[in-house]
Amino acid sequence: MTPSVRKQSATSGPASVGAVVIGRNEGERLAACLDSLGTAPLAAVVYVDSGSTDDSVELAEARGAHVVHLDTSRGFTAARARNAGYRALRELAPRTELVQFLDGDCVLEEGWIQAGRDRLATEAILAAVCGRRRERFPDATPYNRLCDLEWDTPIGPAEACGGDALIRMRALVESGGYDDNFIAGEEPELCHRLRQRGWRVERLDAPMTVHDAAITRFGSWWKRMVRSGYAAASNLDRHGVHGVRHMVALVRSALLHAVLLPAGTFASSLAALAFLPWLAPLPWVLLALLYRRQLRRIAAGRVARGADPIHARTYARYTLLAKWAESLGVLRQWYGRALGRPAGLMEYKPKPSDPAPNDPSKARSSAAASTPEVATGGASHEPLAGGRASEPVRVGYLVNQYPKTSHAWMRREIEGVLATGVEIDRYSIRRVDEPLVDPGDVREQTATTILLEQGAVRVALAVLATVCTRPLRFLSALRQAWSIGRNHPRGRAFHLVYLAEACLLLRFLQRRPVGHLHAHFGTNSATVALFTHTLGGPPFSFTFHGPEIFESISPRCLRAKIHAAAFVVAISHHGFSALERWSDPDDWNKLRLIRCGTDERFLAEKETAPPAEQRVVCVARLSPVKGHLVLLDALAKLVEEGFDPQLSLVGDGDFRPAIERRARALGLFERIRWCGWLSGDGVRDEVLASRLMVLPSFDEGLPVVFMESLALHRPVISTYIAGIPELIENDNTGWVVPAGSVDHLVDALREALSLDDESLMRIARNGAEAVRERHDSQKEAARLAALFRGTNAA
């Protein structure tokens, strides 16, 4: 369609020009902008304010501008502001033929209005013209220089103009103006519709505006690039692949370089790990070479257009890095469209309270301080939550499987920490594969987020989002996973899975921020916490429970976790010494001893006489490491000696069939009460129904069930390993025997079952007193909460 204005005489008098300035919190930059319009022959000046909280409105009114307040009941967009501005201009000056749009952070170059008006007068088919926009302080920060290079567009016919442009009023009215629904990229969208109606857009070889980007932080530049990707996706969504060509190209390039190529490389490397591990690095090498070639191509193109080679190389590096931010913007637009959730205002400018945004020296120092660095295991934390001590403290708890019947002590710890005023969000990597019988565990399950139940698609999207928004940190975490997985029993493939889980956890922490992340056990849950921190998540810590950890991690991995952690908790002196052994001496100041605690219900239990029946109780997961077969062999020998032992076996597990076979072979099956998993009250009842507790483990930390048994005035027989002798002492609080020794266990059982009630209760009282002194769950939880508060305040 040919525009109706085409029949206008090219020799008519000078067209009347009005100006529309839009802004939000521009402050002194707005004052400079409006002052620059004072020398131009303008019919009227309209300033559209988008909810500024500074003195922008007062500055505009003082300079004689007509102020339009954008309706706050709808989301702010530049498109809405420009539409409101030109419509107000039509009412103020109905004969206005040309509109000079100007962003509030720009200063109009003297002579531009005349140059633009003259060019529009020569060709009636021209709808809009724009000139050279320059950055005010291009050398202040690398981000300002990038803007200056970005705005150096080719002279001649243009596909689109930017926010600063001289546009015919008639063209605006015929096209309906800007599209109010566009969050960003409204100018290219308008220009596309104008060209569809037969109009043309042109870039003149003339200075137009001086822009004050004041981008002093990497984060501001990154947000600007996310906004650019969102704008391109919005245009593609509106006009398809045959719409705004450079926007279509931007979407394709961003997805190719930041999504498809890295994803393909990751998949190829993972496949190589499974079949030809020595080939695993090759895909990454090829990707690096491809990126290097792209960098050279971009830099050469800028040099060919007259840019300084040093600036051209900087431009190339940031242009390639911007692909990740742009791809995030693209995905954000697609995701919002799919859910029907349009984005809000996408700001990237510094707030007016930021110091001297247009001061080159201060901007340069600020940029240097904020230039992104590759994160390491001890990388500084990108805050996901406030860190002031006066704010409520929220902690994330991360466990491999939670809640779990054998982890009732952890539930008590959480309850104790909650009682101090600390808020806790629970995260479990996977759901426990056993029934929950305790009502407390059932309640905890409803309050726990299970990461791996979010689905493979959400995990993949979380990885992709992290790659796009935190590329340097992701590469650092990837290098970390590759390094500590090298000598790990589970290998590198598992650590890549842990990295994916960390990306997913990070997304949850972004939606509901925490000031600290705490993992229980030093295995994969602590590894996920480590990777989450490296990706920019909160400070983390973990609780180290026992020597069994060395079966599933390497000393190198444990050392890396300790080094990166804010603090590390050991539940026993034995565990504390193990941490000292496998950490650098410089990190010993991070180690803390906080014991597992016993429920108040057990501590408050009154002393009761033991039953006359020779019943012993064993509470543990039915696993080879717990030594159940040794216990059965010892009981069989006691039967041969004339004793009448009975066993309450509380717990369940994969080893139960083997235990049942041994019990039948020894003729003990009928002497055993097979209880399975019980609630806390059920365990209490079984302990009180027995004379003592027995658990001849091969490997342990310090079982909480021992503390519960002693608190109920029932002595304990166990093995002389790890932290157990710290609580169980021969002839004082119980008996300890060499692990795996049936004969020594028989001796201990014979002695315990032969004691009269008073002698047995004397030992029981000593044990109860030791538990009260060292293992009060409320006191230990308060100590842990104090550490959380200290880390949050730091």
Q: What is the pLDDT of residues 381-435, one digit of tens each?
A: 333 333 333 456 899 999 999 998 778 889 989 999 999 999 999 999 999 887 8
Q: What is the pLDDT of residue 366?
A: 37
DSSP-derived 3-state class of residue 133:
strand
Residue 673 has pLDDT above 80, yes or no: yes
CA torsion through residues 484, 489, 490, 493, sign: positive
Q: Give strand pairing partners of 450.
A: 428
Report the interhelical angle of 245-255 vs 218-239 (nearest 10°): 120
Residue 147 has pLDDT above 70, yes or no: yes
Q: Cα 97 from chain centroid? A: 51
Compare 547 and 377 and report the one with higher pLDDT: 547
Percent of the chain with pLDDT over 90: 51
Q: How many Cβ atoms are within 10 Å of 589's Cβ, its own excluded?
A: 8
DSSP-derived 3-state class of residue 519:
strand
Q: In the numeric block, which tokens belong to residue 360?
A: 């080159």
- Own/partner long-range contacts of 620-623 (Cβ < 8 Å, ≥24 apart): 620/406, 620/650, 620/651, 620/695, 620/697, 620/703, 620/705, 621/406, 621/651, 621/652, 621/653, 622/649, 622/651, 622/652, 622/653, 622/654, 622/655, 622/656, 622/659, 623/653, 623/654, 623/655
Q: What is the pLDDT of residue 357?
A: 40
Q: Which residue in the block uniquely carries the two structure tokens 């690398």?
A: 142
In this predicted model, what pLDDT tens digit does every residue of 78-116 receive, in sequence order?
888 999 999 999 999 999 999 999 998 899 999 999 999
Query: At 662, which helix (H) or strand (E)?
Result: helix 656-665
DSSP-derived 3-state class of residue 234:
helix
Compare 785 and 472 and report the one with higher pLDDT: 785
C-alpha to C-alpha distance for 507 and 477, rounded to whole angstroms: 16
Quick one: CA torsion of 189, 190, 193, 199, rounded to 10 degrees?
Answer: -130
Region 582-610: mean pLDDT is 88
- What are the Cα distances from residue 66, in Å, to 26, 54, 118, 219? 17, 18, 26, 34
Region 753-771: mean pLDDT is 93
Region 462-478: mean pLDDT is 86
DSSP-derived 3-state class of residue 73:
coil
CA torsion through residues 297, 300, 305, 311, sign: positive
Q: Which residues neighbour 297 within 8 Å (Cβ) at sequence distance 6 or greater?
A: none
Q: What is the pLDDT of residue 370?
A: 35
Ordered DSSP codes for 424-448: EEEEEEE--SS---SHHHHHHHHTE
**pLDDT tier for residue 374 given thresholds of 50, 70 and 90:** very low
Show the domains of the chain with their CATH numbers: 4-217 (3.90.550.10), 394-593 (3.40.50.2000), 607-775 (3.40.50.2000)
Residue 66 has pLDDT above 80, yes or no: yes
Residue (of 200, 533, 180) closest to 379 by Cα position: 533
Q: Cα 201 from chain centroid? A: 43
Compare 343 and 336 and report the one with higher pLDDT: 336
Query: At 399, which helix (H) or strand (E)?
Result: strand 394-401
Q: Which residue in the block uniquely carries the two structure tokens 């984005």?
A: 343
Q: In what order do the strands lie in the sheet with 672-676?
A: 672-676, 646-650, 615-619, 692-695, 716-719, 734-737
Q: Please provide the average confidence, as pLDDT, over all residues in the chain.
A: 86
Q: What is the pLDDT of residue 362?
A: 40
Residue 649 has pLDDT above 60, yes or no: yes
Region 466-475: mean pLDDT is 84
Q: Where are the alpha helices (DSSP H) in 426-569?
A: 439-446, 456-469, 471-484, 491-511, 524-534, 555-564
Compare 788 and 151 and report the one with higher pLDDT: 788
The angle at the Cα of 682, spanning 678 to 683, to the nearest 5 degrees, equals: 80
Q: For 7-21, 186-200, 232-246, which range has the lowest pLDDT when averaged over its residues?
A: 7-21
Q: Give strand pairing partners of 569.
A: 543, 592
**pLDDT tier for residue 373 given thresholds of 50, 70 and 90:** very low
Query: At 135, which helix (H) or strand (E)?
Result: strand 126-135
Q: What is the pLDDT of residue 274?
A: 75
Region 207-229: mean pLDDT is 86
Compare 10 and 647 and report the one with higher pLDDT: 647
Q: For 58-67, 300-309, 387-396, 469-478, which range has the lowest pLDDT when averaged over its residues?
A: 387-396
Amino acid 515 reads G
Q: What is the pLDDT of residue 753?
A: 95
In this predicted model, what pLDDT tens digit does every residue of 162-176 receive, in sequence order?
889 999 999 999 998
Residue 203 has pLDDT above 90, yes or no: yes
Residue 738 has pLDDT above 80, yes or no: yes
- What are the Cα distances from residue 223, in Å, to 143, 219, 342, 394? 12, 6, 17, 27
C-alpha to C-alpha distance for 672 and 622, rounded to whole angstroms: 14
**pLDDT tier for residue 344 given thresholds of 50, 70 and 90:** low
Residue (of 733, 707, 714) closest to 608 by Cα position: 714
**pLDDT tier for residue 680 given thresholds of 50, 70 and 90:** confident
**pLDDT tier for residue 552 given thresholds of 50, 70 and 90:** low
Compare 316 and 370 and report the one with higher pLDDT: 316
Q: In what order do the strands lie in the sheet with 394-401?
A: 448-450, 423-430, 394-401, 516-520, 540-544, 567-570, 591-593
Region 546-557: mean pLDDT is 63
Q: In the numeric block, which tokens belong to residue 547?
A: 């020597």
Q: Which residue in the block uniquely carries the two structure tokens 């079966």?
A: 551
- Across the chain, how many H-helices and E-strands are there? 29, 22
Q: What is the pLDDT of residue 363?
A: 38
C-alpha to C-alpha distance for 513 and 493, rounded to whole angstroms: 29
Percent of the chain with pLDDT over 70: 90
Region 48-65: mean pLDDT is 89
DSSP-derived 3-state class of residue 279:
helix
Q: Which residue in the block uniquely carries the two structure tokens 């003082």?
A: 62
Compare 455 and 396 and report the one with higher pLDDT: 396
Phi first, then psi: give them for residue 71, nearest 5 degrees: -60, 120
Phi first, then psi: give them for residue 98, nearest 5 degrees: -125, 145
Residue 117 has pLDDT above 80, yes or no: yes
CA torsion through residues 201, 203, 206, 209, sign: positive
Q: Which residues neighbour 303 within 8 Å (Cβ) at sequence distance 6 or greater?
A: 309, 312
In this predicted model, what pLDDT tens digit does every residue of 611-645 receive, in sequence order?
999 999 999 999 999 999 999 999 999 999 999 99
3-state SS track over 23-60: ECCCCHHHHHHHHHHHHCCCCCEEEEECCCCCCHHHHH
C-alpha to C-alpha distance for 523 and 354, rounded to whole angstroms: 43
